[in-house]
């Protein structure tokens, strides 16, 4: 089990306090810089390991950074605190993005990222809660995180803890029927402290979602299941912050975050082959240059 | 110890399950039950009356059922999942693996009406594969109580255990083979009859039938050692190895397919550590024909007579 990086955790908590008092422009600018650093760290991890899901990672990073940077109440020094907000990454193949964000928050030392996917590393290709603090449930097979998040939200209500629960779903992942079982349960119980975030990049592993198995009209599906739907640009931190505001009323919230797979590197953006392709040395050099701008 | 149980009163273990759950929930407000439109079949009507907020019915949705339970555990509650064993283990196997066992979520999975308890409803509703499937999942104890007292004891143990567990809760009525005040310990079996000729290792509905077989064979001069191996995983390896060294052969018997349950566990141990003559009784790798539970158990030889016949074979031929 990895353990807290105390210095980095202090740094993170100071940043949170500063952002809590900052204006939206300041917060958004800070989140953009954090996201840039996370993309660089993730690219380095994937280059070192020779595997990973870089396109999917870069799609979800702004969502993760916004949640950890300015929305969720978590303390990396007490990763199992009973009243913590929960983030469940149902699209577990983007573990690299999650690891880079958790390290940035101080849940564990950034040096651990160098072991990503190496022999006996706690940082598996998919996240493991028994080895990585901050991970709430083990994901990887798709369609698993959402029911677990519904259970967490039900527990929050039953125990009176009042914490918020977030679950991040890939758009292609919504083809798994278990998600709609969970959507129905959350709608039925009016779990307003639950927010489902759809990383809507329009691509799945093999092709575009609408060519593989049509998801549209996606918002209508969620609305019909009893959810309050908010749509936003999934790379615009201001829009994400607004979308993550607590529920108004008694319905759970679905944020459809319109994203671009491979966001931030020109030759990866919206290209299906970058789902889990590993950049060559030359491509990595170009990518690092673009991410440095 | 019980010598003969043939004429004893019979019990549905689901009743003991429901009563014990109410006792636990009364004492510990973290206890919740998650079910899949299975309030009636799990005998949970009274639980719902007493604790309406703590019975979460996700409807007919087994993947959601198990995932939600894992989430409830994450949120600090102590969830018992109660669902018909065939659908719990078949439909939600990946959730059991990833969300519960691999995630080390403290969830008690209760497979109701296992084996061929649904008799005439047919193989879709039989749960004979569950022991093979669940035993293959790491870090998940597999427990098959034999009677009401052991059902209660196993539930109490599971509630206190710091990790997940799978319990098979029987519907087919069985006699009591244990006193009321027993406790359950994983990896520990119970020897129900003394005997140095042949050993029968049984679970669940088959335990009382093995005890009956021992009574019949006693008149023939064959001393049968009956072991109740309610904890299939972890297995009581010492008791198995002792039985192999002290008796002429080992019979396993379970109301499940023989591909990977109790018999496979015992055979896997003995073939590598102390090769022993064995008979593995259970349902062969076939879908059952139409019939009541009692008819099907007889059809597959899962009776005191069937066990006794296997014991005579092992007692009669070959060295110890």
ipTM for the predicted complex:
0.96
Q: Which residues of B fall within a CB distance of 8 Å from A131? A: none
Q: Is-contact A109 A103, C-beta < 8 A?
A: yes
Which pLDDT does position B41 carry in this prediction?
Answer: 87
B162 contacts chain A (CB < 8 A): no
Which pLDDT does position B152 carry in this prediction?
Answer: 98
A265 contacts chain B (CB < 8 A): no
CA gap A44, A125 in Å, rounded: 15
Tell which residue, B51, B56, B64, has the closest CA to residue B21.
B51
Q: Is-contact B124 B152, C-beta < 8 A?
A: no
User: Which tens digit of pLDDT belongs to each residue from A199-228?
Assistant: 999 999 999 999 999 999 999 999 999 999
Q: What is the mean pLDDT of residues B207-231?
A: 97
User: Which tens digit of pLDDT belongs to each residue from A51-72?
Assistant: 999 999 999 999 999 999 999 9
CA gap B100, B281 in Å, rounded: 30
Residue of B nearest to A145 (CA): B67
Which pLDDT does position B317 carry in this prediction?
Answer: 65
Q: Is-contact A168 A90, C-beta < 8 A?
A: yes
Which pLDDT does position B2 carry in this prediction?
Answer: 44
DSSP state of B247: S
Tell me if A1 is assigned to some domain. Answer: no
Q: With a cut of 90, say whether residue B318 has pLDDT above it.
A: no
Q: How many angstroms away from the CA of A284 is the closest CA of chain B?
A: 34
Instruction: Tell me how far the alpha carbon of residue A225 is from its chain's centroid.
Output: 23
Q: With a cut of 90, say whether residue B319 has pLDDT above it.
A: no
Q: Which residues of A fall within a CB distance of 8 Å from B65? A: 147
Give the percent of chain A with pLDDT over 70: 100
Tell me if A137 is assigned to some domain. Answer: yes
B103 contacts chain A (CB < 8 A): yes
Q: Torsions phi, psi of A257, nearest 5? A: -95, 110
User: Which tens digit of pLDDT belongs to each residue from B158-209?
Assistant: 999 999 999 999 999 999 999 999 999 999 999 999 999 999 999 999 999 9
User: Which tens digit of pLDDT belongs to each residue from A124-175?
Assistant: 999 999 999 999 999 999 999 999 999 999 999 999 999 999 999 999 999 9
Tell me if A229 is assigned to some domain. Answer: yes
**In chain A, which among 132-151 make CB contacts under 8 A with chain B?**
136-141, 143-144, 146-151
Q: What is the mean pLDDT of residues A254-269?
A: 98
Strands B231-233, B142-143: pairing is: antiparallel
DSSP state of B138: T
Residues 6+ apart with CB under 8 A from B42: B14, B17, B18, B33, B35, B82, B83, B110, B112
User: Confidence class of residue B5 from pLDDT cuts 50, 70 and 90?
Assistant: low
- Model pTM? 0.96
Q: What is the mean pLDDT of residues B68-72?
A: 98
Lowest mean pLDDT among A177-186, B32-41, B67-76: B32-41
Tell me if A273 is assigned to some domain. Answer: yes
Q: What is the mean pLDDT of chain A?
A: 97
User: Which tens digit of pLDDT belongs to each residue from B258-300?
Assistant: 999 999 999 999 999 999 999 999 999 999 999 999 999 999 9
Q: Is A146's CB within 8 Å of B67's CB?
A: yes
Which domains can be identified in chain B, with CATH numbers?
10-175 (3.40.50.970), 190-314 (3.40.50.920)
> Containing domain of residue A246, as a range?
6-292
Which pLDDT does position B6 carry in this prediction?
Answer: 57
Q: Which residues of A fall within a CB distance of 8 Å from B105? A: 137
The domain that contains A247 carries what CATH number?
A: 3.40.50.970
Residue of B nearest to A135 (CA): B103
Q: What is the mean pLDDT of residues A91-106?
A: 98
Q: Which residues of A fall within a CB distance of 8 Å from B73? A: 151
User: Confidence class of residue B20 from pLDDT cuts 50, 70 and 90?
Assistant: very high
Total domain count, chain A? 1
Which pLDDT does position B7 carry in this prediction?
Answer: 73
């Amino acid at each position: 089990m990895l353990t807290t990086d105390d210095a980095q955790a202090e740094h993170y908590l100071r940043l949170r306090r500063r952002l809590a008092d900052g204006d939206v422009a300041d917060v958004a600018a800070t989140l953009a810089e954090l996201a840039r650093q996370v993309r660089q760290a993730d690219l380095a991890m994937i280059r070192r390991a020779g595997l990973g899901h870089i396109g999917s990672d870069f799609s979800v990073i702004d969502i993760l950074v916004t949640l950890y940077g300015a929305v969720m109440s978590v303390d990396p020094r007490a990763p199992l605190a009973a009243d913590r907000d929960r983030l469940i990454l149902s699209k577990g193949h983007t573990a690299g993005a999650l690891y880079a964000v958790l390290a940035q928050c101080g849940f564990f030392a950034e040096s651990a990222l160098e072991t990503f996917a190496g022999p006996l590393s706690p940082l598996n290709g998919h996240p493991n809660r028994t080895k990585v603090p901050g991970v709430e449930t083990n994901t990887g097979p798709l369609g698993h995180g959402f029911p677990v998040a519904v259970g967490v939200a039900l527990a929050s209500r039953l125990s009176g803890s009042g914490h918020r629960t977030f679950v991040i779903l890939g758009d292609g992942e919504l083809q798994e029927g278990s998600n709609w079982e969970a959507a129905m349960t959350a709608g039925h119980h009016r779990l307003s402290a639950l927010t489902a975030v759809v990383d809507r990049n329009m691509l799945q592993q093999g092709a575009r979602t609408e060519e593989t198995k049509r998801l549209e009209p996606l918002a209508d599906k969620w609305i019909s299941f009893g959810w309050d739907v908010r749509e936003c640009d999934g790379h615009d931190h201001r829009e994400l912050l607004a979308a993550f505001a607590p529920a108004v009323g008694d319905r759970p919230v679905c944020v459809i975050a319109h994203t671009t797979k491979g966001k931030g590197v020109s030759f990866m953006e919206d290209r299906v082959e970058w789902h889990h392709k590993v950049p060559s040395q030359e491509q990595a050099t170009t990518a690092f240059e673009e991410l440095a701008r | 110890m019980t010598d003969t149980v043939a004429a004893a009163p019979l019990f549905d273990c689901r009743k003991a399950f429901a009563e014990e759950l109410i006792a636990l929930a009364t004492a510990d407000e973290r206890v919740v039950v998650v079910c899949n439109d299975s309030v009636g079949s799990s005998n949970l009507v009274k639980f719902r009356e007493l604790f309406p907020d703590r019975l979460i019915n996700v409807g007919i949705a087994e993947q959601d059922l198990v995932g939600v339970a894992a989430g409830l555990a994450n949120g600090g509650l102590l969830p018992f999942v109660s669902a018909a064993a065939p659908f719990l283990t078949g439909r939600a196997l990946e959730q059991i693996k990833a969300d519960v066992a691999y995630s080390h979520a403290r969830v008690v999975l209760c497979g109701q009406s296992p084996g061929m308890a649904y008799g005439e409803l047919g193989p879709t509703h039989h749960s004979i594969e569950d022991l093979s499937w669940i035993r293959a999942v790491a870090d998940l104890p597999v427990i098959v109580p034999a009677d009401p007292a052991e059902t209660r004891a196993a539930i109490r143990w599971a509630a206190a255990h710091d990790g997940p567990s799978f319990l098979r809760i029987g519907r087919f009525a069985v006699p009591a083979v244990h006193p009321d005040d027993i406790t359950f310990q994983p990896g520990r079996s119970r020897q129900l009859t003394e005997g140095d000729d042949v050993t029968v290792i049984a679970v669940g509905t088959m335990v009382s039938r093995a005890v009956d077989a021992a009574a019949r064979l006693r008149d023939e001069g064959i001393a049968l050692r009956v072991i109740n191996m309610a904890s299939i995983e972890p297995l009581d390896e010492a008791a198995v190895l002792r039985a192999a060294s002290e008796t002429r052969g080992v019979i396993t018997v379970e109301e499940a397919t023989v591909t990977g349950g109790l018999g496979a566990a015992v055979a896997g141990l003995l073939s590598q550590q102390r090769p022993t003559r064995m008979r593995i009784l259970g349902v062969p790798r076939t879908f059952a024909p139409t019939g009541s539970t009692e008819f099907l158990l007889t059809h597959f030889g899962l009776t005191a007579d069937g066990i006794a016949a296997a014991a005579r074979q092992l007692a009669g031929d070959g060295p110890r």
